[in-house]
Amino acid sequence: MKFHELAEENRSVRRFRETERITGQQLLTFIDASRLAPCGANLQLLRFTPVTSGENCARIFPALRWAGYLDDWNGPVEGERPSAYIIIHAPVGERGHIPVDVGIAAAYIVLAARESGYGSCMIMSFDVNMITEAAGTKEGYHPFLVIALGKPGEETVLEEADGDIRYYRDAKDRHHVPKLALREIIVPVKD
């Protein structure tokens, strides 16, 4: 698959086919892709927790907050929940490049997952204490991002934004993701 096709196919998935599990080895393959990613000063400060067991997934799920634009939806119901997670931990303390490093690492993970037929959702809205406890976060680190993973259980429609960028669900329960047109995000060089 060409990269642009992969980018078009990779949408945030919020409903999964929960019974279709992801193996620990598959998660390690995704994390390994992120290990190869560039990072600030090549410090390689991020740490990762792969989560595959149903019991551990059940401990993480209640800590997550899903789909802020969908006011009437509290997240996936049983049977539609992620079958795995990868938690990205960042060192405690101020390092300006850490959010960029996390973003790059997460992008590598979700693209590797999509190439393997899995969907993902990057989640920064979560109960830090619950995730820290569930993930056994290493001292000196804090959970920065949770990536939910699994086989997609919903249809996602990518469309050009008509001024409103909020995602929504239609009457057929398809998830629509409006994206700005290329011309709207280009800032030309001043002559």
pLDDT band, residue 45 (cuts 50/70/90): very high
Nearest to 134, CA basis, from 187, 89, 71, 73: 89
Cα separation, 56 vs 113, in Å, equals: 20
pLDDT value of residue 137: 86
| Strand pairing class (175-179; 156-160) | parallel
The torsion angles phi and psi of 81, rounded to 5 degrees, stand at -85, 160
pLDDT value of residue 70: 86
pLDDT value of residue 95: 79
Is residue 191 scored above 90 in pLDDT? no
Residue 89 contacts residue 135 (beta carbons within 8 Å): yes
Exposure class string for 125-150: b at 16+ Cβ within 10 A, else e: ebeeebbbebbebeeebebbbbbbbb
Domains of the chain: 3-153 (3.40.109.10), 155-191 (2.20.180.10)
Cα separation, 34 vs 44, in Å, equals: 10
In the structure encoding, which two tokens stand for residue 131, read together?
Answer: 């995730």
Residue 13 contacts residue 121 (beta carbons within 8 Å): yes
Q: How do residues 134-175 score in pLDDT, each as one tens digit?
A: 988 889 999 999 999 999 999 999 999 998 999 999 999 899
pTM of the full predicted structure?
0.93
